[in-house]
């Protein structure tokens, strides 16, 4: 599990792992993994504040938003970097939405 020394810097590739939908109606038969880039928290905060009036604070990691990200039914999925668990999904958006990164809770902040 992540410690305070675990680096989850913007631009880092993190791995999301889960059983959620692979499109709007289909669940996978095998566990899915997906490498997604970490997004700067300030950019993520602007997106969520402007469109949903939600706050993204230092206890969060934002990743994806490029059409490659977790989908519905992926809440609670693990997020790893270098095989270290760094977070779990908190907010997912419509499947692979280009504009909205997924928000994860950081383990090292709790």
For 15-62, what is the HEC assignment?
Answer: EEEECCCCCCCCCCCCCEEEEEEEECHHHHHHHHHHHHCCCCCCCEEE
Mean pLDDT of 22-26: 78
pTM: 0.84
Q: Over 80: is that where the pLDDT of 106 sits? A: yes
Q: How do the residues of the chain divide into helix, strand and coil, expressed in percent and rounded to 5?
A: 15, 30, 55
Res. 22 pLDDT band, cuts 50 70 90:
confident
pLDDT in tens, 45-100: 998 888 788 888 989 999 987 777 777 667 788 999 999 999 998 876 666 666 78
Query: How far is residue 105 CA from its own chain's centroid?
Result: 9
DSSP state of 99: S
- Residue 20 vs residues 30, 80, 90, 99: alpha-carbon distances, Å: 10, 17, 14, 20
The CATH T-level fold of domain 13-109 is Thrombin, subunit H (2.40.10)
Q: How far apart are the first and last CA of the chain?
A: 12
At residue 72, the pLDDT reads: 64
Query: Domain coordinates of the chain in residue numbers?
Result: 13-109
């Amino acid at each position: 599990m992540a410690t305070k020394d675990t680096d989850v810097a913007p631009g880092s590739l993190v791995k999301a792992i889960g059983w959620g939908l692979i499109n709007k109606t289909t669940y996978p038969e095998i566990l899915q993994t997906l490498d997604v880039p970490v997004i700067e928290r300030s950019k993520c905060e602007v997106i969520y504040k402007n469109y949903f009036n939600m706050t993204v604070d230092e206890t969060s990691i934002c990743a994806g938003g490029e059409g490659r990200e977790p989908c519905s039914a992926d809440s609670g999925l693990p997020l790893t970097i270098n095989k270290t668990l760094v977070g779990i999904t908190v907010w997912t958006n419509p499947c692979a939405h280009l504009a909205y990164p997924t928000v994860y809770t950081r383990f090292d902040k709790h």
